[in-house]
Amino acid sequence: MSLAVKYRPKTFDEHIGQEHIVKALRKALKEGKISQAYLFAGPKGVGKTTTARILSKALNCESSSKITDNPCGICKSCIDIENSRHVDVIEIDGASNRGIDEVRNIRENIKNLPIRGRYKVYIVDEVHMLTIEAFNALLKTLEEPPKHVVFIFATTDPQKIPPTVLSRLQRYDFRPIPIFEIIQRLNYIVKKENIDIEDRAIEEIARRSDSSLRDAISILEQMTMFIDGKITHKDVINILGSVESELMEDLLSSILSGNVNRAIDITNEILQKNLSILDFIREFNTFLFEKFKEIINNPSKDYTKEDLMQLLNTALEMEKVVKYSITPKIWLVFFISKMCYIPRTVQLLQILQDYNLVYRKTKREEEKKKETIKDKLYNHVINHKKSQIDIFLTAQIEEEKESIIFTFSDANSYSEAKLKLDEIRKELSALGYNYKNVEIKLKEENPKKVKLINELSLRRIS
């Protein structure tokens, strides 16, 4: 008997990792509120089928005169259910019995009363594998099943079950089992089995189990077959294929420095360590997430949490793409290269500080600049009340070697300035500007614009 089967929970008291479901089911059993169709949904190896068997025991336990929230696990009925040989508890694999004929057989058999127990229980594993025709055949049965029948459907992919079927089921969502609970269970098993193993090795097995207790126990059993004597952390790494933290650190450093060639070389080195591409990506994503959690409380001088957020976002996208790709290596290299080209983030505060320094510096430099001739002319007009030449302040002023040019955009202003040409020469001399030539020009207008103004009888507002 495998360790996974030997140490599978046999009662609700032994159940681990799904306390919310156990509590709800026990309360319903205690109050006699039994649904006739359940859906247990969740990832692999988290206790869906095990819970279905325990619920079947609670409905048919012989140690009680009625249904109980705490099946004994030792009566003949409980033992037979545990070993899949109870005549009234039928386990069906939805993957291999997925057609309409199998469902028709179920519909015929549910009419018969249970032979030994109180309820006839149908446990259908991987129910999402049934065909559409099979689901349609089940609809009427699920809506009005005989009172002595209970259906328990288990699935890792509830999205594939038609909504019409889902609406007829009482759904329970199973969570991934926390690593610390897996470690506790593994410690219990190694003590019972007298397995000599390092604590770090147990932690590595729990981490590599992908939150599946069944997988964790299977890995532990695999280690006992390969290793004679004490199982070490290095043994687990070598057999399962894993990546040393130093290599992950080097890969992260290469990505952050933008060294594409080095990052790809490290990636190729990692893939030579008996590790699948998808397993490597998941390890790298976990590594990045752990780094992100560390930096929140302990900032690093090498990178920011924003840097890691950008990398994590790309890494999670990489996992999704590679998982369903027929060319995973190409996509892996592409995403690693893409990470190398992601710009490093800069703190907003630093940006504002730098901007403020530049702004203040620019402002000081502008303050040091000499007044332009237009500034001086403006001050001269204001201070000495030279209103006769204020028309020149509306012009664009250009200086050349020994000339000054006033360009007007308005014809009326241009005509008025022509009449005051001698006066502006006089005032410029008073300001210390002795130009040989003082010119006045009218800015050339776009012919189309002039035509439009004339046609619409528009006038300039000064």
Domain ranges of the chain: 3-173, 179-240, 260-340, 373-455
Residue 389 token pair: 């030449």
Residue 269 token pair: 């080195």
Task: Specify the pLDDT at position 454.
Answer: 66
CB environment 405-429: b (16+ within 10 A), e (fewer): bbebebeebbeebeebeeebbebbe
Beta carbons within 10 angstroms of residue 346's beta carbon: 11
Task: Specify the pLDDT at position 352.
Answer: 57
Q: Which residues of the chain fall below pLDDT 50?
A: 462
Residue 232 token pair: 């070490």
Long-range pairs for 27-31: beta carbons < 8 A, 24 or more residues apart:
27/69, 29/55, 29/58, 29/67, 29/68, 29/69, 30/69
Tell the CATH topology of 179-240.
Helicase, Ruva Protein; domain 3 (1.10.8)
Where is 173: in which H helix or E strand?
Answer: strand 170-173
pTM: 0.61
CA 278/CA 288 separation, integer angstroms? 15
Residues 78 and 84 sit within 8 Å (Cβ to Cβ): no
Residue 172 token pair: 């329970």
Task: Specify the pLDDT at position 462.
Answer: 43
Burial (CB < 10 A; 0-12, 13-18, 19+), residue 459, is: exposed
3-173 shares its CATH topology with 373-455: no
Strands (E), 50-147: 89-93, 120-125
CA 444/CA 450 separation, integer angstroms? 10
Task: Specify the pLDDT at position 378.
Answer: 77
For residue 452, give every residue at least 6 positions away whose Cβ sits within 8 Å of its Cβ, in sequence order, or none: 458
Task: Specify the pLDDT at position 453.
Answer: 63
How do residues 194-238 score in pLDDT, each as one tens digit? 999 999 899 989 988 878 899 999 999 999 998 888 999 888 877
Residue 205 token pair: 């097995």
Place of tokens 């004490």: 230
Tell the CATH topology of 373-455.
GMP Synthetase; Chain A, domain 3 (3.30.300)
Q: For the structural domain made of 3-173, what CATH number should be given?
A: 3.40.50.300
